[in-house]
Amino acid sequence: MDSFSSPSLSSSGSSPNPEAVMEQIKAQLAQAYAQEFLETVGNKCFEKCVTKPGSSLSGSESSCISRCVDRYIEATGIVSRALFSSQR
């Protein structure tokens, strides 16, 4: 099954359930945002922490990447909470 089909959207002659369509769109958006977030964080933290790319990470590079990713996740959480609380 591809990303454009689901059991709730089958062509059984009836119109698709709008709630099911919205849930599928929300799930796809969440997946896309998560993928983009991980790619962005990975690239930025790699650029910041890995000064001499090699076959493996040094202990300090690994520690730096871990801290960098943790900071991005924490900052994203703070921004998300601020945005969602201001919308209410």
Q: What is the pTM of this model?
A: 0.62
The label of the residue with tokens 């790319």 reads 53
Decide if 3 is inside a domain: no
Predicted confidence at residue 48, as pLDDT, reads 95
Decide if 29 is inside a domain: yes
Q: Which residues, in sequence order, are CB contacts of 9 under 8 Å at separation 6+?
A: 16, 20, 21, 24
Look up the CATH number of the domain holding residue 35. 1.10.287.810
Predicted confidence at residue 9, as pLDDT, reads 47
Predicted confidence at residue 88, as pLDDT, reads 65
Q: What domain range includes position 75? A: 18-84
Predicted confidence at residue 86, as pLDDT, reads 77
Decide if 5 is inside a domain: no
Q: How far apart are CA 45 and CA 72, in angstroms?
A: 9
Residues of the chain with pLDDT under 70: 1-14, 87-88
Decide if 7 is inside a domain: no
Number of domains in the chain: 1
Tell me the HSE value of 6 on the side-chain side, using a 13 A CA sphere.
14
Q: Which residues, in sequence order, are CB contacts of 68 under 8 Å at separation 6+?
A: 41, 44, 45, 48, 49
Predicted confidence at residue 4, as pLDDT, reads 52
Predicted confidence at residue 13, as pLDDT, reads 56
Neighbours of 62 (CB within 10 A): 13
Decide if 73 is inside a domain: yes
